[in-house]
Amino acid sequence: MTATIAQLGERALRRLGVAVVPVADRPALSVVIPAATLATGALVELGVVAADETPAATDAALALAKLAAAHDALVAQGVVSWTLDTVPQCVAEEMTKLAASLMASSFGKPSDPAIHAMLEARVRKVALIMGAPALASDAVLGVHQDLTALGLARWSVFDIPVAVESPYVILAANDLAPQFGQKADPRDDIAANRSLAQYVALPTSGERIPAEYF
């Protein structure tokens, strides 16, 4: 059965150790946390209110403003794609602590810039991995388009031969590596291109081979 570019992309991510479990085998991350809930959580984090208390209107407004500032800072850096009212639950704790960090001085509390930076980095990593499948599919498609432009691919993106799946994965992984803070090994590119060249050099029977799509 022919592998799709999405499947090859997931293999490339596993090769990099970025996303070990395929998307189809992971629980969906569909829960979002309202901004007001995160803002109240930031006040609880600072000890301004207890978990079972309702914050004063002025405190709630300040917390919401600081949460929005933390969110906008991430948006401005091109880190996140979600809105303030659709923050995924998987980064809710980090966003809560970021808001608390920004308003700590307003309540006479200390704030650690190093921890703030660490929280931003954590959100950045989660957002990058959430978008990794699309990046990986684009990388595999890029490999195929390069081969097509060179006149080497006798196949379409919908019927990539099993024999060249591994070179596709290797080349895509090397293309993705810098985006995940890793270094690509040029020797892998050489080996993958050699395998592709060997396959392309094989004579064809000229017969049409029906592909199966599911």
Residue 214 lies in a domain: no
Query: What global pTM score does this model have?
Result: 0.79
Query: In whole angstroms, what is the distance from residue 13 CA to residue 11 CA?
Result: 5
Using alpha carbons only, give the angle 158, 24, 136 rounded to the nearest 5 degrees.
55
Together in a domain, 177 and 138: yes
Q: Do 61 and 87 belong to one domain?
A: yes
Residue 182 lies inside a defined structural domain of this protein: yes
29 with 126, same domain? yes
Q: How far apart are CA 13 and CA 133, in angstroms?
A: 8
Nearest to residue 49, comparing CAs of 58, 41, 57? 41
pLDDT at residue 206, rounded to an integer: 54
Residues 141 and 80 in one domain: no
Within-domain flag for 152: yes
- pLDDT surpasses 70 at 72: yes
In this structure, the answer to whether residues 114 and 35 fall within a common structural domain is: yes
Does some domain include residue 190?
yes
Give residue 21's pLDDT band: very low, low, confident or very high (50, 70, 90): confident
Q: What is the pLDDT of residues 41-52, one digit of tens each?
A: 999 999 999 999
> Mean pLDDT throughout 6-33?
90
119 and 31 fall within a common domain? yes
Q: What tokens appear for 11 in the block?
A: 């293999």
What average pLDDT does range 134-141 have in this prediction? 96
User: In this prediction, what percent of the chain has a pLDDT beyond 70?
Assistant: 94
Rounded to 5 degrees, φ, ψ at 88 are -65, 145
**In the predicted model, what is the mean pLDDT of residues 186-199?**
93
List the domain range (segments joined by +) for residue 96. 24-130
DSSP string, 132-150: HHHHHHHHHHHHHHHHHHT
In a domain, 210, yes or no: no
Share of the chain above pLDDT 90, in %: 83
Residue of 150, 160, 186, 159 lying closest to 171 (CA atoms): 186
Q: Are residues 98 and 88 in the same domain?
A: yes
pLDDT at 6 (0 to 100): 94
How distant, in Å, are the alpha carbons of 29, 88, 103, 104, 164 from that of 130? 9, 11, 28, 30, 27
Q: Which of 113, 204, 115, 97 is nearest to 161 (CA)?
A: 204
Specify whether 146 is located in the same domain as 175. yes
Residue 136 lies inside a defined structural domain of this protein = yes
Q: How many domains, in total, are found in the chain?
A: 2
**Are 37 and 124 part of one and the same domain?**
yes
Cite the beta strand spans of the chain per DSSP E: 32-33, 87-88
How confident is the model at residue 210, as a pLDDT?
56
Q: Are 90 and 145 within one domain? A: no
Same domain, 192 and 110: no
Q: How confident is the model at residue 154 (pLDDT cuts 50, 70, 90)?
A: confident
Q: What is the mean pLDDT of the chain?
A: 91
Domain boundary among 85, 110, 130: 130
Rounded-to-integer distance, Cα 183 and Cα 153, Å? 27
- In a domain, residue 206? The reply is no
**Last residue in a domain, options 130, 151, 175:** 130
Final residue of a domain: which of 88, 111, 130? 130
Based on the fold, state whether residues 84 and 33 are members of the same structural domain: yes
Residue 211: inside a domain, yes or no?
Answer: no
